[in-house]
Protein backbone atom coordinates (compact mmCIF):
# COMPACT_ATOMS: atom_id res chain seq x y z
CA UNK A 1 0.00 0.00 0.00
CA UNK A 2 1.30 3.44 -0.94
CA UNK A 3 2.11 6.04 1.68
CA UNK A 4 3.22 9.66 1.56
CA UNK A 5 6.90 9.96 0.56
CA UNK A 6 6.94 6.61 -1.18
CA UNK A 7 8.53 6.90 -4.61
CA UNK A 8 7.55 5.11 -7.79
CA UNK A 9 9.09 4.39 -11.18
CA UNK A 10 6.70 4.85 -14.11
CA UNK A 11 6.66 3.24 -17.55
CA UNK A 12 8.90 6.04 -18.93
CA UNK A 13 11.47 5.40 -16.16
CA UNK A 14 10.64 8.75 -14.56
CA UNK A 15 10.62 8.76 -10.75
CA UNK A 16 7.64 10.20 -8.84
CA UNK A 17 7.20 11.21 -5.21
CA UNK A 18 3.89 10.63 -3.40
CA UNK A 19 2.97 13.97 -1.77
CA UNK A 20 -0.64 13.52 -0.62
CA UNK A 21 -3.90 11.66 -1.11
CA UNK A 22 -7.21 12.86 -2.46
CA UNK A 23 -10.50 11.03 -2.57
CA UNK A 24 -9.64 9.55 -5.97
CA UNK A 25 -6.17 8.29 -5.00
CA UNK A 26 -2.51 9.25 -4.48
CA UNK A 27 -1.04 12.44 -5.94
CA UNK A 28 2.50 13.59 -6.59
CA UNK A 29 4.87 14.77 -9.27
CA UNK A 30 7.96 13.68 -11.22
CA UNK A 31 10.89 14.52 -8.96
CA UNK A 32 13.60 12.86 -11.08
CA UNK A 33 13.14 13.13 -14.85
CA UNK A 34 14.98 10.68 -17.09
CA UNK A 35 17.19 12.69 -19.43
CA UNK A 36 20.19 11.64 -21.47
CA UNK A 37 23.23 13.48 -20.16
CA UNK A 38 21.45 14.47 -16.94
CA UNK A 39 23.58 15.52 -13.98
CA UNK A 40 22.95 12.40 -11.87
CA UNK A 41 23.18 8.72 -12.76
CA UNK A 42 20.89 6.10 -11.28
CA UNK A 43 22.55 2.75 -10.61
CA UNK A 44 19.19 0.92 -10.36
CA UNK A 45 17.77 1.94 -13.75
CA UNK A 46 21.06 2.65 -15.52
CA UNK A 47 19.77 6.01 -16.83
CA UNK A 48 20.71 9.65 -16.26
CA UNK A 49 18.29 12.05 -14.56
CA UNK A 50 17.71 15.68 -13.61
CA UNK A 51 15.94 16.68 -10.42
CA UNK A 52 12.72 18.61 -10.91
CA UNK A 53 11.43 21.48 -8.75
CA UNK A 54 8.15 21.22 -6.86
CA UNK A 55 5.33 21.49 -9.39
CA UNK A 56 1.60 20.99 -9.85
CA UNK A 57 0.57 17.61 -8.50
CA UNK A 58 -1.33 15.03 -10.53
CA UNK A 59 -2.84 11.62 -9.96
CA UNK A 60 -0.01 9.08 -9.94
CA UNK A 61 0.40 6.69 -12.89
CA UNK A 62 0.50 2.93 -12.51
CA UNK A 63 4.02 2.09 -11.28
CA UNK A 64 6.42 -0.51 -12.57
CA UNK A 65 8.19 -0.33 -9.20
CA UNK A 66 7.52 1.23 -5.78
CA UNK A 67 10.19 2.33 -3.29
CA UNK A 68 9.28 2.35 0.42
CA UNK A 69 11.35 4.48 2.85
CA UNK A 70 10.88 2.04 5.75
CA UNK A 71 12.39 -0.79 3.70
CA UNK A 72 15.31 1.44 2.76
CA UNK A 73 16.12 2.25 6.39
CA UNK A 74 15.86 -1.39 7.45
CA UNK A 75 18.14 -2.49 4.61
CA UNK A 76 20.73 0.27 4.85
CA UNK A 77 20.82 1.30 8.52
CA UNK A 78 24.11 -0.53 9.10
CA UNK A 79 25.57 1.05 5.95
CA UNK A 80 25.07 4.58 7.29
CA UNK A 81 28.15 6.37 8.56
CA UNK A 82 29.27 9.67 10.02
CA UNK A 83 26.59 12.25 10.79
CA UNK A 84 23.75 10.22 9.29
CA UNK A 85 24.45 7.14 11.42
CA UNK A 86 24.72 9.39 14.49
CA UNK A 87 21.43 11.11 13.62
CA UNK A 88 19.62 7.80 13.24
CA UNK A 89 21.09 6.52 16.52
CA UNK A 90 20.10 9.69 18.36
CA UNK A 91 16.50 9.31 17.21
CA UNK A 92 16.45 5.68 18.36
CA UNK A 93 18.06 6.55 21.71
CA UNK A 94 15.33 9.16 22.19
CA UNK A 95 12.71 6.42 22.05
CA UNK A 96 11.65 6.36 18.39
CA UNK A 97 11.29 2.75 17.27
CA UNK A 98 13.59 1.84 14.39
CA UNK A 99 10.64 0.36 12.48
CA UNK A 100 9.08 3.86 12.48
CA UNK A 101 12.03 5.43 10.63
CA UNK A 102 12.46 5.62 6.87
CA UNK A 103 14.89 7.08 4.34
CA UNK A 104 13.48 8.90 1.31
CA UNK A 105 15.00 11.13 -1.35
CA UNK A 106 17.89 10.30 -3.65
CA UNK A 107 19.29 7.54 -1.42
CA UNK A 108 15.97 5.65 -1.59
CA UNK A 109 15.86 5.39 -5.37
CA UNK A 110 19.43 4.60 -6.35
CA UNK A 111 21.40 7.85 -6.60
CA UNK A 112 24.70 8.59 -4.93
CA UNK A 113 24.33 10.82 -1.89
CA UNK A 114 25.67 14.27 -2.80
CA UNK A 115 25.03 16.14 0.47
CA UNK A 116 22.48 14.82 2.91
CA UNK A 117 20.23 11.87 3.68
CA UNK A 118 16.51 12.52 4.12
CA UNK A 119 14.67 10.82 6.99
CA UNK A 120 10.95 10.34 7.55
CA UNK A 121 9.35 9.33 10.85
CA UNK A 122 6.02 7.51 11.01
CA UNK A 123 3.26 7.96 13.56
CA UNK A 124 1.99 10.60 15.97
CA UNK A 125 4.14 9.21 18.78
CA UNK A 126 7.33 9.58 16.73
CA UNK A 127 6.51 13.24 16.06
CA UNK A 128 5.89 13.92 19.75
CA UNK A 129 9.09 12.15 20.85
CA UNK A 130 11.22 13.97 18.29
CA UNK A 131 9.70 17.32 19.26
CA UNK A 132 10.29 16.63 22.96
CA UNK A 133 13.92 15.55 22.43
CA UNK A 134 14.70 17.96 19.58
CA UNK A 135 17.45 19.91 21.37
CA UNK A 136 19.11 16.78 22.75
CA UNK A 137 19.12 15.15 19.30
CA UNK A 138 20.82 18.20 17.79
CA UNK A 139 23.39 18.31 20.58
CA UNK A 140 24.07 14.59 20.21
CA UNK A 141 24.73 15.10 16.50
CA UNK A 142 26.88 18.18 17.02
CA UNK A 143 24.36 20.13 14.93
CA UNK A 144 22.37 23.33 15.19
CA UNK A 145 19.09 24.91 14.13
CA UNK A 146 18.82 26.32 10.63
CA UNK A 147 21.07 29.38 10.21
CA UNK A 148 20.15 32.77 8.79
CA UNK A 149 22.50 32.06 5.88
CA UNK A 150 20.68 28.84 5.07
CA UNK A 151 17.32 30.59 5.31
CA UNK A 152 18.63 33.17 2.82
CA UNK A 153 19.81 30.33 0.57
CA UNK A 154 16.42 28.60 0.57
CA UNK A 155 14.48 31.82 -0.02
CA UNK A 156 16.71 32.57 -3.01
CA UNK A 157 16.44 29.02 -4.36
CA UNK A 158 12.72 28.39 -3.88
CA UNK A 159 11.15 31.86 -3.68
CA UNK A 160 10.01 31.87 -7.32
CA UNK A 161 7.87 28.78 -6.68
CA UNK A 162 5.59 30.69 -4.32
CA UNK A 163 3.37 33.76 -4.50
CA UNK A 164 5.11 37.08 -3.84
CA UNK A 165 2.70 37.84 -0.98
CA UNK A 166 3.72 34.70 0.89
CA UNK A 167 5.77 35.08 4.09
CA UNK A 168 8.17 32.42 2.88
CA UNK A 169 11.17 33.64 4.89
CA UNK A 170 9.23 33.53 8.17
CA UNK A 171 7.95 30.06 7.32
CA UNK A 172 11.44 28.71 6.64
CA UNK A 173 12.75 30.29 9.84
CA UNK A 174 10.25 28.11 11.74
CA UNK A 175 11.99 24.89 10.70
CA UNK A 176 12.48 23.49 14.21
CA UNK A 177 13.14 19.85 13.27
CA UNK A 178 15.96 20.28 10.75
CA UNK A 179 19.55 19.60 11.78
CA UNK A 180 22.25 21.79 10.25
CA UNK A 181 25.85 20.65 10.19
CA UNK A 182 28.20 23.62 10.14
CA UNK A 183 27.75 27.37 10.13
CA UNK A 184 26.85 29.54 7.16
CA UNK A 185 24.84 27.59 4.61
CA UNK A 186 26.15 24.28 5.96
CA UNK A 187 24.30 21.02 5.25
CA UNK A 188 20.66 20.79 6.32
CA UNK A 189 18.51 17.69 6.71
CA UNK A 190 14.89 18.13 7.76
CA UNK A 191 13.05 14.99 8.89
CA UNK A 192 9.45 14.69 7.72
CA UNK A 193 6.56 13.16 9.65
CA UNK A 194 3.69 10.92 8.53
CA UNK A 195 0.67 10.94 10.90
CA UNK A 196 -1.14 7.77 11.97
CA UNK A 197 -4.37 8.88 10.31
CA UNK A 198 -4.07 9.62 6.61
CA UNK A 199 -5.08 13.14 5.59
CA UNK A 200 -7.47 12.89 2.64
CA UNK A 201 -7.99 16.10 0.69
CA UNK A 202 -11.55 16.28 -0.72
CA UNK A 203 -11.89 16.46 -4.49
CA UNK A 204 -14.63 19.01 -4.10
CA UNK A 205 -13.34 22.54 -4.38
CA UNK A 206 -14.98 25.90 -3.95
CA UNK A 207 -13.91 29.46 -4.59
CA UNK A 208 -10.62 31.01 -3.54
CA UNK A 209 -10.93 33.57 -0.77
CA UNK A 210 -8.63 35.65 1.41
CA UNK A 211 -9.50 34.78 5.00
CA UNK A 212 -8.18 35.32 8.51
CA UNK A 213 -7.96 32.53 11.07
CA UNK A 214 -6.29 31.57 14.35
CA UNK A 215 -4.26 28.40 14.82
CA UNK A 216 -5.60 25.97 17.45
CA UNK A 217 -3.04 23.17 17.04
CA UNK A 218 0.24 23.68 15.18
CA UNK A 219 2.61 20.72 15.65
CA UNK A 220 1.02 18.75 12.80
CA UNK A 221 2.13 21.43 10.35
CA UNK A 222 5.37 19.43 10.37
CA UNK A 223 3.55 16.45 8.80
CA UNK A 224 3.09 15.37 5.18
CA UNK A 225 0.90 16.93 3.99
CA UNK A 226 1.26 19.90 6.33
CA UNK A 227 -1.91 20.69 8.27
CA UNK A 228 -3.24 22.38 11.38
CA UNK A 229 -6.60 23.07 12.96
CA UNK A 230 -7.73 26.69 12.98
CA UNK A 231 -10.61 28.79 14.18
CA UNK A 232 -12.36 30.44 11.23
CA UNK A 233 -15.69 32.29 11.48
CA UNK A 234 -16.19 30.82 14.94
CA UNK A 235 -15.82 27.21 13.72
CA UNK A 236 -13.02 24.65 13.65
CA UNK A 237 -11.55 24.16 10.19
CA UNK A 238 -8.56 22.18 8.97
CA UNK A 239 -5.95 24.18 7.08
CA UNK A 240 -4.00 21.90 4.71
CA UNK A 241 -1.20 22.69 2.30
CA UNK A 242 0.71 20.57 -0.19
CA UNK A 243 3.51 23.17 -0.36
CA UNK A 244 6.79 21.43 0.49
CA UNK A 245 8.52 24.47 2.00
CA UNK A 246 5.67 25.11 4.46
CA UNK A 247 7.14 22.60 6.93
CA UNK A 248 6.24 23.67 10.53
CA UNK A 249 4.49 26.85 9.38
CA UNK A 250 1.97 26.98 12.25
CA UNK A 251 2.15 27.51 16.00
CA UNK A 252 -0.72 27.54 18.46
CA UNK A 253 -2.13 31.07 18.69
CA UNK A 254 -0.83 32.27 15.31
CA UNK A 255 -3.09 34.78 13.59
CA UNK A 256 -2.94 34.10 9.86
CA UNK A 257 -4.11 35.82 6.71
CA UNK A 258 -4.45 33.18 4.01
CA UNK A 259 -5.39 33.09 0.35
CA UNK A 260 -6.81 29.61 -0.09
CA UNK A 261 -9.62 27.44 -1.38
CA UNK A 262 -12.48 27.44 1.15
CA UNK A 263 -14.50 24.22 1.37
CA UNK A 264 -17.28 25.00 3.83
CA UNK A 265 -18.94 21.59 3.45
CA UNK A 266 -15.89 19.67 4.69
CA UNK A 267 -14.46 22.53 6.79
CA UNK A 268 -11.22 22.50 4.77
CA UNK A 269 -8.97 25.45 3.89
CA UNK A 270 -6.57 24.33 1.15
CA UNK A 271 -3.38 25.97 -0.09
CA UNK A 272 -2.25 24.17 -3.24
CA UNK A 273 -2.20 26.70 -6.10
CA UNK A 274 0.50 29.22 -7.03
CA UNK A 275 -2.16 31.86 -6.40
CA UNK A 276 -2.38 30.81 -2.76
CA UNK A 277 -0.31 32.39 0.01
CA UNK A 278 0.01 32.78 3.77
CA UNK A 279 0.96 35.75 5.93
CA UNK A 280 1.45 36.15 9.68
CA UNK A 281 -0.60 38.94 11.22
CA UNK A 282 1.37 39.19 14.48
Sequence-ordered list of residues with C-beta below 8 angstroms from that of 204, at least 6 positions apart, any chain:
263, 265, 266
Residue ranges, the chain, pLDDT below 70: none
For residue 237, list its beta bridge partners: 230
d(CA 15, CA 27): 13
Listed residue (7, 20, 2) closest to 57, CA to CA: 20
Q: Answer for the pair 142, 254: CB distance below 8 angstroms, yes or no.
A: no
Alpha helices in 133-279 (DSSP H): 134-141, 148-158, 168-173
Give strand pairing partners of 48. Answer: 41
pLDDT computed for residue 205 by the predictor? 74
Strand 48-51 and strand 25-34: the pairing is: antiparallel
d(CA 122, CA 229): 20
pLDDT at 1: 86
Question: What is the pTM assigned to this prediction?
Answer: 0.95
Amino acid sequence: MLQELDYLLDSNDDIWIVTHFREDGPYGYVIYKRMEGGDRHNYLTGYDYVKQPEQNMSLLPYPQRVFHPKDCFTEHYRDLNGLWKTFADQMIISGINSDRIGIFGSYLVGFDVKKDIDFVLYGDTSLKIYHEHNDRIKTGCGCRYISKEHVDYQVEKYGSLYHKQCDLRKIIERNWSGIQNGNGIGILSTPRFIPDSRIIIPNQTSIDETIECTVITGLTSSCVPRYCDVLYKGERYRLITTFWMFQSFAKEGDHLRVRCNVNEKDKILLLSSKEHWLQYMD
